[in-house]
Amino acid sequence: MLALIAGLYMMQKKYVSFSKRVFTALGLGIVFGFALQLVYGPTSEVTAQTSDWFSIVGSGYVKFLQMIVMPLVLVSIVAAFTRLKLTSNIGKISGLIIGILVGTTAIAAAIGIVTTTGFNLEAVQIEQGAAETERGAALEENLSGMQAQTIPQQIIELLPANPFLDLTGARPTSTIAVVIFAAFIGIAYLGVKRKKPEEAALFSKVIDMIYAIVMRVVTLILRLTPYGVLAIMTKTIATSDIDAIVKLGKFVIASYVALGAMFAVHLLLLTLVGVNPIMYVKKAFPVLTFAFTSRTSAGALPLNVNTQTRQLGVPEGIANFAGSFGLSIGQNGCAGIYPAMLAVMIAPTVGINPLSPSFIATLIAIVAISSFGVAGVGGGATFAALLVLSALDLPVALAGLLISVEPLIDMGRTALNVSGSMTAGVITSKVTKELDTTVYNDKTISPETAEA
């Protein structure tokens, strides 16, 4: 691992592009992980202890990203107000972003239904062992705790009662709560600017200073991305149960076909609003690679926002709204495709025809609505699936059947979630005519040149 890290460092010293270094790290991680699988096996003590050491680089990188999430969200949104880039458009911007996130989640659910039907997937096809039974029982127990909150109560959880608590990230909805708190500060600034312009000017300078420091920290962490991707991917491959993946290969393939189709929808939407989808893929690739390997949308937020603002020409405020809302609302992979696929797989076990128009319409509607409630309970795809299955009166325990391939599928879901939030930011900027198309179309802009 140290030798591979040294190799990536030499590539950096030779000014190899950031995207090529991330792609190289991803490939090296896959090869090295499989090598450890073949030599030691995924459950050996050597693999386990080695993976712990790899976590210093991989998990350490993720923690650095999580460290800067709340300061970045707070300062960037306030700075957007002090620079007069949101002002009266804040309602329109928020509505567009949420509408795009929820709308694409509904499309994702439809794609999940079509894919599951096309591959003829059913829950009865999966062998239920001890691990699957134990997982199913745990899901049923989780459901009993979730049902204590209604959808309106979950939406109320988005609001900040104690912004200082939310700045610590203590709640599943902390990020959105910080967004709301920052918006209040920004609106208050605009009011002070009209009555006391001198005080407002001083506040604006302080915010600009803090913003410059925070973005510099983001850039420093960003340079560690290839090393983090290498370590995370190596650990993931080395500790994966390859036999279980092969056994459930049909379900894995179907999931990635659906995820790929939804990503194509993102590119189609970008094309329809008049931006180059190929340029989006090139510039978003490092962010999506990190999201894929790390399986954390929250950890990818600094990379997400940095890429939107520095490389795709999205204003800071819009980028932060899109990235932050995308963590909890309308996640295309976790709250869209996954629950829809599970529902179609499980429905036949209780005598429901998953192809009936009423079932399909109800499923898509429930998926779209429940994507608001995921943040209220926390837990990503699993909780989204529990919400949808319970709303349809389907047995939630069967959702535990895919536990052995869950990590592998979750990698693609997380990348799609992040792509959905970035797509929402770019489309909203284009519709409101705030997208800097010069930056978006500039092929020479990379994370390093953007910072410089």
**What pLDDT is stored for residue 92 in this prediction?**
84
Distance between CA 336 and CA 259 in Å, rounded?
Answer: 10
CATH number at residue 427: 1.10.3860.10
Rounded to 5 degrees, φ, ψ at 119 are -90, 0
Distance between CA 240 and CA 236 in Å, rounded?
Answer: 6
The alpha carbon of 378 is separated from its chain's Cα centroid by a whole number of angstroms, namely: 14
For the chain, 452 residues long, give each residue's pLDDT as a single digit of tens. Answer: 999 999 999 999 998 888 889 889 989 999 999 999 889 988 889 999 999 999 999 889 888 888 888 888 888 888 878 876 665 677 788 889 999 999 999 999 999 999 999 988 887 655 555 554 555 555 555 555 555 556 677 678 778 888 899 888 777 778 888 888 988 998 899 889 888 989 999 999 999 999 889 888 988 888 898 999 899 889 988 887 777 677 677 888 999 999 999 999 999 999 999 999 999 999 999 899 888 888 888 788 888 988 999 899 998 888 888 888 888 788 898 889 988 998 998 888 888 888 899 999 999 998 888 777 554 444 567 777 777 887 888 877 666 666 667 778 888 998 999 999 999 999 999 999 889 999 999 877 655 544 43
Distance between CA 41 and CA 19 in Å, rounded?
Answer: 31
If one counts the domains in the chain, the total is 1
Q: How far is CA 416 from CA 120, 163, 260, 413, 425, in A?
A: 23, 29, 9, 5, 14
**What pLDDT is stored for residue 276 in this prediction?**
94
Q: What are the counts of helices (DSSP H) followed by strands (DSSP E) for the chain?
A: 22, 0
**What pLDDT is stored for residue 401 in this prediction?**
63
pTM of the model: 0.80
**What pLDDT is stored for residue 159 in this prediction?**
85
Q: How far is CA 119 from CA 125, 316, 336, in A?
A: 12, 42, 18
Distance between CA 136 and CA 93 in Å, rounded?
Answer: 40
Element (H, E) at 296: none
Q: Domain of 379? A: 2-451
Give the Cβ contact number of residue 101 at 10 Å.
Answer: 27
**What pLDDT is stored for residue 5 in this prediction?**
94
